[in-house]
Amino acid sequence: MFYVLSIGAGIEHLESILLSKELGYKVIAVDRDKSAVGLKFADISYIIDIKNEEEIINIAKKYNIKAVLPTPIGRYLSTVGAVNDALNLKGIGKKSALKCVDKVEFNKEMKKKGVLCANQLVAKSKNEIICAINKIGIPCIIKPRFGSGKRGVRIIYNEYDKNRIISEHLNERGDDDSLIESQIVGREFGIDAVIYDGIFKLILVREKTITEIPYRQETGYICPADIEESLTIKIGKTIENVCRGISIDNCLINADIIIDKNNKVYIIELSGRPSGYYISKKVIPYVTGINFLKEGLNMVLNREYNFTVKSNKLVRISFLSDLNHGLHKIPSNEELKERFNLLDSNINIIKYDEIGTFTSGKDVYKRGFILLKGDSYKEMDENLKDIYSYLNSQEKY
């Protein structure tokens, strides 16, 4: 009997857990939250905080696991790396993982390699944060040193709102340090790629749609991004250089970048794990024809894998950000798919629910998504407007 390990068992981990079981492996899942959905589907479950490397390594050794599952894990990608190192498994190592998740170390590495990135200062207290803001200048970005899902990330865009935004950030950052970064102005993109046996392959460039300031949460993606091939090549070379600079190999890759008005590529973040927010599970397969998570799993299991892009379809995903504060009727997913010829949808909103402002990654899973296709970017944009008009229109209910 062969075992694999899922470090974390939340909604983001579920697809890899299910794929592993389809391939005939027994899944061990660890998570500190006893209600984590993936624990119900795992063959063996442990209620353990995923930052506890030593205990998780002991479990991995006990069952002689064959791989750690590739999942959209955040800060404790370092635990994945520690297990891979301890059992000599295929996948990211701890040293590289730490460079991914520690935004200070990542920024230092980018500066060393000559990769364009934001200027950055570290601060702990509110007074230190204010001093750092004065040095960096307004507008600037404030965010936690670790973490993901845009938790505690804000733009400080004027003096008037500075103190309020700092207070909001401090309430959300946890026990992290704070980072103050210069704001890079331009179009924002998400990147999906893979590196295997030293071979880098760019899979997809997605353009983000973003909330209004001060928040920095993506509300959807246009896929593939509407950019020239020469810029796509430039992006691929930049991401490849970053991966080699922090010694990443044999793992899926997710990155965030900004392209300024002069087509300069600025790296914001990069991590040796797949994207979340339905991107790896839904978007990449629809656009490219690659079952990204399954092939990533095959890779770390030393099975045959194939990352050849088979198609380049136009797809747009929206995370239901442009909704009124209370819908009188929630249409079924089947009704939406039929009415608007959607590829897929999943609406989690409850009737009359006070939706509130879209601020962080948690809102993505609280609301759900709509995934639509089109023959042109303009057609997808118009179709999306029609869908939101329909959802927000009270008289049609």
pLDDT bracket for residue 396 (50, 70, 90) = very low
Q: Are 118 and 188 in contact (CB under 8 A)?
A: no
| 181 pLDDT more than 70 | yes
Q: What does pLDDT average to over the chain? A: 92
pLDDT tens-digit readout, 124-176: 999 999 999 999 999 999 999 987 667 788 999 989 889 999 998 998 888 88
d(CA 100, CA 140): 22
Chain centre distance of CA 6:
17
pLDDT bracket for residue 324 (50, 70, 90) = low
pLDDT bracket for residue 337 (50, 70, 90) = confident
pLDDT tens-digit readout, 29-78: 999 999 999 999 999 999 999 999 999 999 999 999 999 999 999 899 99
pLDDT value at position 321? 81
Q: Which residues contact 379 (CB under 8 A, 6 or more apart)?
A: none
Helices (H), 189-253: 229-245
pLDDT value at position 397? 41
Hunting for tokens 């909001």 — which residue is that?
168
Residue 18 CB neighbour total at 10 angstroms: 14
Chain centre distance of CA 52:
23
d(CA 16, CA 351): 31
Give the type of residue at 302.
N
pLDDT value at position 362? 73
| 326 pLDDT more than 60 | yes
Residue 185 CB neighbour total at 10 angstroms: 10
- Per DSSP, the residues of 287-343 read HHS--HHHHHHHHHTT------------EEEE-S-S--S--S----HHHHHHHHT-S
pLDDT value at position 354? 67
d(CA 262, CA 116): 13
| 216 pLDDT more than 90 | no
- Average pLDDT rounded to a whole number, residues 328-345: 85
